Amino acid sequence: MRRRLFLAGALATVLAAGTACGGGGSDDAAGGGTEKLTIYTARDKKVATFVVDKFTAKYPEYKGKVEVLNLGAQEILERVRAEKANPQADVWWGGTQQGLAAGAAEDLLTSWQPAFAGKMDAKYKDPEGRWFGEILLPEVIMYNNKALTPEKAPKDWDDLLKPEWKNKIIIRDVAASGTMRSIYASMIQRQSPDGSNPQPGYDWLKKLDANTGAYAANPTDLYLKLSRQQGVLSAWNLQDILLQAEQANMPFGYVMPSSGAPVLVDGLAAVKGGNSTGAQKFIEFLFEDSLRADLAKDYFQIPAVDIAEKPEWLAQLDLKPLDVDWDVIGKHETEWINHWNSQIKNKG
């Protein structure tokens, strides 16, 4: 049985809170020899807790043996990459297709064929079975609906550059966030379809930076700043906006941009060298029809594999996808975001 090191820092907080079970690879007292399952996730904490509770109810041998560490999607990639020689995670849950593809290319992910893979559109999964899309995430314009009416909110991406919004935009710090990296890369790629000339996109992002009043360190910081009207606008994913508005009573609304919303394939994978038995069991569980229906209804997820009956909000969603080439973005995203971070951020 594989030995594990204690996860430091943020994971220690999770362990202390009782959502995890302590250090080594096996803990016979708690689970009859079942190996611990460690999950790195970019999912909302409420979603992660709901799913893990359902998982351990179905598989009681994992009760007290699931560790969950919440990180940004890009942070997960960087952490799994850094731990390649001694993997600490078993499941990577919540990552952009370009981030997961990078992990696959670096031999960080396990190749396998789960039962649900045959139902999934080829564009939502890795051809070698190293990652699978779980949900679709439209990226939209977010606003404080106590400060702005729907009529006054911007209608499209370019509206964010208007002088009236100077210092009224709050952006989740881009480099660590899969959502923000994808939005910013989409803004570049829409003006350079083959990615060969990012300068018009850089110029666009520089104008957005000039209107940005602050960069939030993490999603919680973003929600607090926006709710307190330190800014009134942002760009964010639809699911988290709806979750915060519905479950946390945050004063958030959204605009589906008239030119279209980048729609991310947000997925998951089993980490190579990890607890493959537990990881595969957890991933298969996530694709059970009843769970996906609950997550769509109560947590505003858009499943990558269709469900039999869509909840009302999803059936009525007027989704307008932006024409985005994710292969081009996957090739250039690191270069583009590094340029933004060093040459554009706070310089607009």
Q: Does 19 map to a domain?
A: no
**Residues 340 and 220 both lie in one domain:** yes
Please indicate, yes or no, whether residues 276 and 128 belong to a single structural domain of this protein. yes
Examine the domain organization and report whether 128 and 277 are in the same domain.
yes
Task: Return the residue matching tokens 């208007």.
Answer: 162
Task: Identify whether residues 131 and 166 lie together within a single domain.
Answer: no
In the prediction, which pLDDT does 22 show? 34
In a domain, 18, yes or no: no
Q: Say yes or no: 73 and 160 in one domain.
A: no
What is the crossing angle of helices 45-58 and 276-286, to 10°? 110
Domain identity same for 299 and 219? no
> Is 118 contained in some domain?
yes
283 and 300 both lie in a single domain = yes
3-state secondary structure of 313: helix
For strands 132-144 and 252-255, give the pairing.
antiparallel
Whether residues 193 and 336 fall in one domain: yes
Q: Report the CATH number at residue 60.
A: 3.40.190.10
> What pLDDT tens digit does each residue of the chain (348 aa) get?
444 443 344 433 333 333 333 333 444 434 457 899 999 999 999 999 999 999 999 999 999 999 999 999 999 999 999 999 999 999 999 999 999 999 999 999 999 999 999 999 999 999 999 999 999 999 999 999 999 999 999 999 999 999 999 999 999 999 999 999 999 999 999 999 999 999 999 999 999 999 999 999 999 999 999 999 999 999 999 999 999 999 999 999 999 999 999 999 999 999 999 999 999 999 999 999 999 999 999 999 999 999 999 999 999 999 999 999 999 999 999 999 999 999 999 998
Predicted confidence (pLDDT) per residue in 207-263, tens digit: 999 999 999 999 999 999 999 999 999 999 999 999 999 999 999 999 999 999 999
For residue 213, what are the contacts with CB-CB under 8 A and spacing of at least 6? 167, 168, 169, 170, 230, 231
Are both 259 and 157 inside the same structural domain?
Answer: yes
In a domain? residue 84: yes
* Residue 348, pLDDT score: 81
Distance CA 80, CA 163 (A): 41
Residue 1 within any structural domain of the chain: no
43 and 79 in a common domain: yes
Q: Are residues 269 and 175 in the same domain?
A: no
144 and 227 fall within a common domain: yes
Q: Say if 22 falls within a structural domain.
A: no
Domain total of the chain? 2
User: Does residue 13 belong to any structural domain of this protein?
Assistant: no
* 82-104 pLDDT per residue, tens: 999 999 999 999 999 999 999 99
Q: Taking phi first (over 0 means left), then psi (-120 to 50 degrees means alpha), and beta for anything else, what does residue 140 get?
A: beta
In a domain, 65, yes or no: yes
> Domain of 90?
37-136+264-316
Residue 21: the pLDDT is 36
